[in-house]
Amino acid sequence: MPWLPPKGLENLKNLAISRGLWEDLGNGYITKKPRKKKTSAQVIVESGPDDTGEVRLRINPQNAGPAPRIHYQEEGAVSEQSPQLKEQTLSTRALYVEILVVDPSGRFDTGEPVRWKNRLVIRNRLEEKGGKRLVELFVAPRGTLRYTLDGSEPRNGHEYTGTPIEIGDGEVLLRVFAEAEGLEAKEDFTFPARGQKGIKIDPSRPARITPRLGKKLDSRAKTFEGLGFASQRSMTFSGVVLTIGQGSKMVNITISEIPVEADFLKSLLDKALEKFGPDAPVTMTFRCAEFRSGHDLEEFMDLFGLELSQEEIGQQ
């Protein structure tokens, strides 16, 4: 029998399973005749949601043969009679999309539909009319809104009917809850007293920023400094794009809606930079950042000169 290193048989088994040559039946047994695999889809958010709730999706077929068909249905049950994507991208404002991948070659069986769910985005607009401060609320793509002005749970608050909310002249905490067909979102907005300049952040409460156009750390030094700060303060990011290099020698690493820690992002960068010289440009953009406290958010803004509006800041 050929000599194998320690755990050699275990490693061979794992390799055969990962390549689909064998199958782990989950009951302690391995079969060398794996069952026929089924089609599926990987859904990646490339951009959005924007102010209207529109999201650009990339659909990557899985186990689908050389010429897969991708059927989709917005807010409904998908079937092989549903519209078919001509390319692998879809722009949508739907609350959810069902996706069905079919392999015309018959090599793979048709799997279950994959359901992608959108994210509700709550925004506000403050304006003054007739000496009064009024706040309008918006939710995209759509939904119902409830709110409170006394700090209580907004889920049980007043229904927002579209009429602007009068908030008075003092400092105000406006808590908002949105719901649409099982999707939920919650945001807190703090408005400083009339005449007080700048934005209002409670330093003791967890905070989140969701810049409309994203924010960018536009140099190698800033990117690594930002990740170092984020690691120390246990921040997380989502909607991240890491860009290494430039021109024809460039790599983009995109992480969609999954919140990720700074150490994870740094490990990706370190690995990718092995293929580049020491002077390769590095930038990082993100659409959302979570902070343990408003104090950490304020320090992050000061450190990198980030400018934010009140509506781009939420606190729990």
Q: Over the stretch 33-67, which tens digit does the pLDDT of each residue have?
A: 666 789 999 998 887 787 788 988 999 999 888 89
pLDDT on residue 50:
79
pLDDT at 154: 96
User: Tokens at residue 202, please?
Assistant: 């409670």
Q: CA 312, CA 309: separation in Å to the nearest integer? A: 5
Residue type, 237: F
206 assigned to some structural domain: no
pLDDT value of residue 21: 60
The reply to whether 190 falls in a domain is yes
Determine, yes or no, domain membership for 209. no
Q: What's the pLDDT at 195? A: 75
Task: Quote the distance between the C-alpha of residue 3 and its chain's center.
Answer: 48
Tell whether the torsion through CA atoms of 30, 41, 142 and 151 is positive or negative: positive
- Domain end, chosen from 94, 117, 140, is at 117
Instruction: Kindly provide the residue ranges of all beta strands, DSSP E only, lying in 192-262, ordered along the sequence.
Output: 207-209, 215-217, 236-238, 240-246, 249-255, 260-261
Domain match, 101 and 167 both:
no
Please compute the mean of the pLDDT values over residues 90-115 and round it to a whole number.
Answer: 94
Summarize pLDDT for 271-311 with one digit per residue, the tens: 999 999 888 999 999 989 999 999 999 999 888 888 888 77
Residue 166's CATH number: 2.60.40
Assess whether 25 and 44 both reside in one domain: no
- Give the model confidence (pLDDT) of 255-265 as tens digits: 877 889 999 99
Residues 242, 268 contacting (CB under 8 angstroms): yes
Does one domain contain both 170 and 244?
no
Given 117, 136, 162, which residue is the final one in a domain? 117
- The pLDDT mean for the chain works out to 87
pTM of the full structure = 0.65
Does residue 208 lie within any of the structural domains? no
Domain ranges, residue 149: 121-197
Co-location of 102 and 47 in the same domain: yes
* pLDDT above 70 (res 233): yes
Domain tally for the chain?
Answer: 4
- Dump strand ranges (E) for 27-129: 30-31, 40-47, 55-62, 69-74, 89-92, 96-102, 114-117, 121-129
Residues in Cβ contact with 52 at an 8 Å cutoff, skipping those fewer than 6 apart? 93, 140, 141
236 assigned to some structural domain: yes
pLDDT of residue 1: 47
